[in-house]
Structure 1
Amino acid sequence: MAWVARLSHVFHELRVVYNARDAASAGVRQFLEEYYSFVKELNPGLPVYVRPFDGVREPYVAVRRSDGSYATRQLTNLSARAVLRQIKELTDVALPLDPVVRRRQLADIV
């Protein structure tokens, strides 16, 4: 899972939106319990926004790319591993961040 360390190299932010009680978000909640600390440990300068929201029927993950655009993936009824795979797919197709932006992210953690 070395690709997890690339998240901060290809995204400005990672956003996870889910319902705190709905069964469709169970895999997202499990993902957060099992993998969130690992993701943050490998990407300390990457903003990761976790938003439990009762009005959400379909949980999703969104990433902001270097050009300012967002890419999203629906996470409805997925397992924790499948949520991780969705994030990996977003990472695989992303272009690396501009080196100046990358330095700014690293400066945030020093």
Structure 2
Amino acid sequence: MAWRGHLSRNLKELRILFCQSSLASATTREFVQRNYKDLKTLNPKFPILIRECSGVQPQLWVRFDNGVERGFHLEGLSETQIVKALEDLVKVGAALKA
């Protein structure tokens, strides 16, 4: 999981959006609770923005260089699938820098 330490190298910003109470956002809430501390420890100055809003569908957004953004809808995904989606986005960021 070395990619976790490369967030700040390959991305400019990470945003996670979810509802505080909906079942659709339950897995995303668990992902944040289990992974935020580790991600922030490995990338202390990297902006990880957690946005809770009633009724919003769970989403993961990243911003790359030059303002390019990509997002994933997280509804129905397991925590493992969310981790994989974030890992894939970090790899995209690395490829864009090459």
The reply to whether TM is greater than 0.5 is yes
Q: In the alignment, does 2:66 pair up with 1:84?
A: no
For 1:55, the equivalent position in structure 2 comes to 55
Per-residue deviation at 1:86?
0.8
For 1:103, the equivalent position in structure 2 comes to none
For 1:102, the equivalent position in structure 2 comes to none
- After the TM superposition, which parts of structure 1 deviate over 4 Å for at least 4 consecutive aligned residues? none
Q: Is the 8 A contact 1:12 1:64 kept in 2?
A: yes
For 1:9, the equivalent position in structure 2 comes to 9
Per-residue deviation at 1:67?
1.3
Identity, in percent, stands at 33
Q: What is the rounded CA distance, in whole Å, between the counterparts of 2:4 and 2:86 in structure 1? A: 9
For 1:104, the equivalent position in structure 2 comes to none
Q: What is the rounded CA distance, in whole Å, between the counterparts of 1:79 and 1:34 in structure 2? A: 13
Across the two proteins, how many residue pairs are aligned to each other? 97
Cα deviation, 1:57-96, whole Å, max 9, x if unaligned, reads x211101111111110110022222211110111111137
Cα deviation, 1:12-66, whole Å, max 9, x if unaligned, reads 110000011111111100101111100001011100000011131x211101111
Structure with higher Rg: it is 1
Q: Is the 8 A contact 1:26 1:79 kept in 2?
A: no
TM-score by length of 2: 0.91
TM-score by length of 1: 0.82
